[in-house]
Amino acid sequence: MKEAKFYNFSRGKVPLFITSRMLSQEQLLGLTYYWLSSNQVSLFYCYIYNQIIVAMIRVITRKWMFISGLYLLNLKKAYNKYAKTLLLQQDGSQFALHKLLSSAHENVPYYRENLPKFENNANLINTFKELKFVTQKSQIKNSISEFINPALVRENNLMSLRSNKFLVFLKFYKKDIIFPMSTGGSSGSPLNFYIGKNRGLKFIMQFIAVAKTIGWKEGEPYMACMQGGMYQQSNLISKLLPFIGTPAFVFREINLKTANIFAAHYTKYRPVILFSSPSFLSEIALLLEETKIKLPGKIKGIMCIGEMLLDSQRKIIESYFNARVFNIYASNEMGTIAVECKEHNGLHILESSVFLENDADLNILGTAFDSECQPFIKYNIGDIGKIQFEECACGIKGNKIIDLRGRIEEYIIDKNDNRIHASYLRQLLINTNHLYENTVVNGQFVQKKDRDIHFRLQLNSDKYTQQVIEHVKREIKLICNLDSYGNSTISLAPATGKFRFFYREN
């Protein structure tokens, strides 16, 4: 046991300052024993008192860090506005829509040429719904300058994702900062775009609002797990979270080593809320289960985001962590779009934040409010799901997304007709690069009519060509129970003439 250190005051030896971060539990135990020994209290009760003191200090310290972090980053106003409750109500939606449409028509070249001018009257919503207009991701990729507001997106107000924590901290005090963002690049190359500070904060704060509906309270540990190297913004978020007492867990690959590091991180912080992608959580749960690692504490809920949540993944995650999973539908372009309630029957649309529609094929078209620096208007998100008005058993009335299916081409169909999300393939390439000196530059996977997988890899050298191909074949067999064939030639998808990371032949 470490010897507790004390400082002399007029009333005797007392600790100068105590927090759960400055003193170890052994030191606190020694301190508690010192206080109680004069009263001849048993070591057992001394230990119990010590645990109470540790718990109290942790709660006080974490809540203080959370609140002070909001003030330090100038986030308290955004927290009060966007994190207190979910933005489900439609109040103000017409005003927000008209503001966005007017700004886009006046300041953004593409919308100035292709959007009519809208009047702010009682028919605005219906007039907008009837407008035959769709913005495609490919259009923005091909000519991003046509889709941004040059008065708002300037080089001197861009948040650099390569900055250190101190510079990030200073930059956050600027009201007009712009965040460079990107999508995951599932079609071969990422979509790069920009969002303003207000919408970025709304995006983040709505995660906190979702956590509150699950039972999270200010100061309770909240563990976000994100994959490094996949999204530019993961670097930014990992720098901001420590300011509010919640260090992020950033991983590169999913393997036994990562599972052990995750378990140590989890044990250290003992979160009541977990937040990550379903593929990561389900894979980590299986690894921890196989190695018989039991995590301490009790989780109030798990928030899944970033991928389609499969029923098989939900069962694995809920079984290991002994907590309910809540699905969150979001995209980097739109922000937080819809959330699952305790009834787990569809997703409630955050109608004060986004306006969603269906086209004839049930593609989801989104219009993001507060996206004036780079407006997303009737934007084809790339997912499929039916939007309809419902009165949910949870008490919420409003539009919901029913039967969200995501992108059809993002699923591998195995021999038993199970759907496996193509994110496993992206993770496979990351693991492959970790093993073979980052030799894979790009990859493409095609599922044939007989269910076999044919893959093509672009390599930066021929040093590991055969090893890489054999490794990918083994992993596909293990993950998907499918045969596969590989070579090192990237090609375009048939019919579209465009590169796609994964597609199935009809």
Side chain identity at 393, as an amino acid letter? A
Given 3.30.565.10, 3.90.76.10, 3.40.50.12780, 3.40.800.20, which CATH number is that of 76-88+149-406? 3.40.50.12780
Cβ–Cβ under 8 Å, residues 46 and 29: yes
| Residue for token pair 């980097």 | 332
pTM metric for this prediction? 0.71
**How far is C-alpha 343 from the geometric centre of its chain's CA atoms?**
22
Cβ–Cβ under 8 Å, residues 2 and 27: yes
Distance CA 462, CA 192 (A): 31
Query: Crossing angle of helices 465-480/423-435, nearest 10°?
Result: 140
**Domain 410-504 CATH class label:** alpha beta
The H or E element that residue 258 is part of is helix 256-269
Per-residue pLDDT of the chain (506 residues; tens, 9 = 90+): 333 333 333 333 333 333 334 444 445 555 555 555 555 555 555 556 556 655 665 555 666 666 666 666 667 787 788 877 777 766 668 889 999 999 999 999 999 999 999 998 888 999 999 999 999 988 998 899 999 999 998 887 887 655 565 666 666 677 788 888 877 554 445 678 898 888 888 888 888 888 888 998 887 888 888 766 444 444 556 556 665 656 678 776 677 888 999 999 999 888 999 998 887 898 889 889 989 999 998 999 999 987 778 787 899 999 999 999 999 999 888 989 999 999 999 999 999 899 999 999 899 999 999 899 999 999 999 888 999 999 999 888 899 998 887 654 466 777 777 667 676 787 788 778 778 887 887 788 888 888 888 888 878 778 888 888 888 888 888 777 777 777 655 443 343 334 567 877 76
| Residue for token pair 């829509």 | 97
- Contacts with 218 (C-beta within 8 Å, 6 or more apart), sequence order: 63, 66, 67
Residue 126 CB burial class (10 angstroms; 0-12, 13-18, ≥19): exposed
Cβ–Cβ under 8 Å, residues 187 and 500: yes
Distance CA 156, CA 147 (A): 19
The per-residue DSSP string of 181-221 comes to: EE---TTSSPPEEEEEHHHHHHHHHHHHHHHHHHT--TTS-
The H or E element that residue 25 is part of is helix 25-37
